[in-house]
Amino acid sequence: MKSVLITGTSSGFGREVAATLAGRGWRVFASMRDTGNADRVLGLAESMRAPTSAIHVVPLDVASEDSRALAVKNVLEITGGRLDAVVHNAGYSTTGFFEDLAPQQIRHIVETNLLGAMDLTQRLLPALREASGRIAVVSSNAVNVPHPMFSVYAATKWALEGWCEALAIELGPFGVDVVVFQPGNHDTGFGEHAVPVLPEASPYADLARRAIPRLSGLARYSRPSRKASQRMCDVLESSRPRLRIRIGADDVVASWLARVTTYGLRRRGIEWMTDLGR
């Protein structure tokens, strides 16, 4: 039985990948900050007729060093020091202008989205090398499209992808593959969990009033996440996956535009969509 640790399994891709892999015969360590939400992943597994006994709910706050250390210790004690895969799915964003963000908010996003994944990976690497395992990171279309009001989130995703490109070369000789999942707009509830930031007397108040309704309206173009989650599981089980897996027509198109057009053109498109032009 292969084993996998997945972060952020109380919702979105993490929840669906956990339930799907359990149904495919994996031992799944489904981590979440609040284990009171365990029924979300266990209930989905039941509805998919996946064995809930294959899912071990693990308390893990990826922004806490102590929590990361304890989670790794507990998982590896169960697996005997081997792990076949880790899926870094946990992450969130604020919705706000960079100047309005407090330093602690910036640090927490970076710790959750980037540094937590790095630290977990470093702690798990001996077990992953032992199993010639796989490291998967859920990135974002934010690396292809300018994302005003999500600047720190975009920064963490750019950093994750750069880290993964280098890590793939370092770990290749050990048979450890690194995969970047780059999904487009899916109905994972990501936008609903974004923390709004707009202090009183913000100089960006008028811009926010124009942009936020337009950004919220993008949700109606989202696609069901189940198909994307199935593809992620297929890649995790494939023999030689590519480094970067683009998921969704919008991500495929946006990544192509990022390669063949200038930043200026893409910027004007986003300014038109968000009404943030001069």
Return the active site residues: 153
Enter the tokens of residue 1. 């039985």
Distance of CA 180 to the CA centre of its chain: 10
Question: 178: helix, coil or strand?
Answer: strand
Q: Is 226 helix (H, G, I), strand (E, B) or coil?
A: helix
User: Do 142 and 163 contact (CB within 8 A), yes or no?
Assistant: no
**6: which strand partners?**
30, 87
Half-sphere CA count of 122, side-chain side, radius 13 A: 10
**CA distances from residue 223 to 63, 188, 189, 233 in whole angstroms, order as listed:** 29, 9, 11, 18
In terms of DSSP H, where are the helices of the chain?
12-23, 38-47, 65-79, 103-110, 116-130, 151-171, 190-193, 205-217, 225-237, 249-260, 263-274
